[in-house]
């Protein structure tokens, strides 16, 4: 009996060592046969994790904005609507019929509205976007959140065709407010609070001409079940 107990203990210890060996070797005792003794080695690792735990790919704790963007892109939240408002100001030199020299004129454009339709799209190459696009007061408006998995970067872009249609030759013909190719963690200038989504636009868009506000309204499966969908999307989540 002592011999049997010692033999079983030896096999269990050997099996415990074998579970750390890659690749898996079913012939635990190395006798060239797969038999009952080899099964004792297998039983020592029964119902345990084999290899890395792929169920938890990331334990990063993001900011409120990072979490919202991830939830929207992964489909864990739905963008119900987005309120936008902006006030931009510019000057330009133009010729008028009655003057041989150019004169300076000024233009202030203020506009607001609510985008109501959003769609989550995953492209064949893995790129993900929550995209929108609709006419508001006769002009095309969109707000997109994007992720590129190849480079691990995020983008946010807003565009309003009314700026071009109603404000030429002002604002250099621009109609986008955007920033892209930003990886995690996002800079501190990217954040979400009760006033909405804040992020600086990169050079070449409309950031130098005035102020923009973007207030998202979103829902999650839990909030939909509770009947609170749409109330928590203004950064109170």
Is the pLDDT confidence value at 115 over 90?
Answer: yes
How far, in Å, CA of 12 to CA of 93, rounded?
A: 87
> What ranges do the domains of the chain cover?
2-43, 64-226
For residue 106, the cross-strand partners are 91
Rg (CA), the chain: 30
**Region 152-179 average pLDDT:** 87
**Region 137-157 average pLDDT:** 95
> Where is average pLDDT lowest: 20-29, 52-61, 160-169, 174-183?
20-29
**Region 31-59 average pLDDT:** 69
Handedness of CA 23, 29, 33, 36 (dihedral sign): negative
Residue 229's pLDDT is what? 37
pTM confidence score? 0.69
How far, in Å, CA of 2 to CA of 111, rounded?
A: 88
Label residue 53 by pLDDT band (50, 70, 90).
low
Q: Write out pLDDT tens, residues 126-135.
A: 999 999 999 9
**Region 98-102 average pLDDT:** 92
Q: What is the DSSP letter of 186?
A: P
User: In degrees, to the nearest 5, what angle opens at C-alpha 65 toward C-alphas 60 and 69?
Assistant: 80
Q: Higher model confidence: residue 71 or residue 41?
A: 71
- The mean pLDDT of the chain is 81
Q: Which helix (H) or strand (E) covers residue 17, if one does?
A: helix 2-18
- 105-135 b/e with 16+ CB inside 10 Å = b? eebebebebebeebebeeeeeeebbbbbeee
Residue 4's pLDDT is what? 45
**Region 171-187 average pLDDT:** 89
């Amino acid at each position: 009996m002592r011999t049997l107990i010692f033999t079983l203990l030896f096999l269990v210890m050997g099996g415990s060592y074998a579970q750390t060996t890659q690749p898996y070797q079913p012939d635990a005792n190395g006798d060239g046969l797969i038999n009952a003794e080899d099964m004792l080695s297998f039983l020592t690792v029964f119902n345990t994790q084999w290899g890395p735990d792929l169920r938890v790919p990331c334990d990063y704790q993001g900011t409120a904005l990072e979490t919202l963007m991830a939830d929207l892109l992964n489909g864990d939240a739905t963008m119900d609507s987005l309120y936008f408002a902006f006030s931009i100001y510019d000057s330009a030199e133009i010729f008028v019929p009655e003057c041989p020299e150019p004169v300076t004129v000024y233009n202030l454009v203020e506009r607001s509205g609510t985008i109501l339709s959003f769609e989550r799209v995953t492209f064949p190459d893995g790129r993900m976007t929550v995209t929108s696009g609709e006419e508001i007061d006769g002009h095309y408006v969109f707000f997109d959140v994007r992720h590129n998995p190849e480079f691990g970067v995020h983008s946010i872009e807003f565009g309003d065709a009314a700026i071009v249609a109603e404000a030429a030759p002002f604002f250099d013909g621009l109609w986008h407010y955007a920033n892209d190719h930003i990886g995690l963690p996002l800079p501190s200038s990217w954040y979400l609070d009760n006033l909405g989504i804040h992020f600086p636009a990169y050079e070449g868009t409309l950031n130098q001409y005035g102020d923009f506000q973007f207030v998202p309204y979103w829902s999650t499966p839990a909030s939909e079940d509770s009947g609170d969908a749409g109330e928590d999307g203004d950064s109170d989540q």
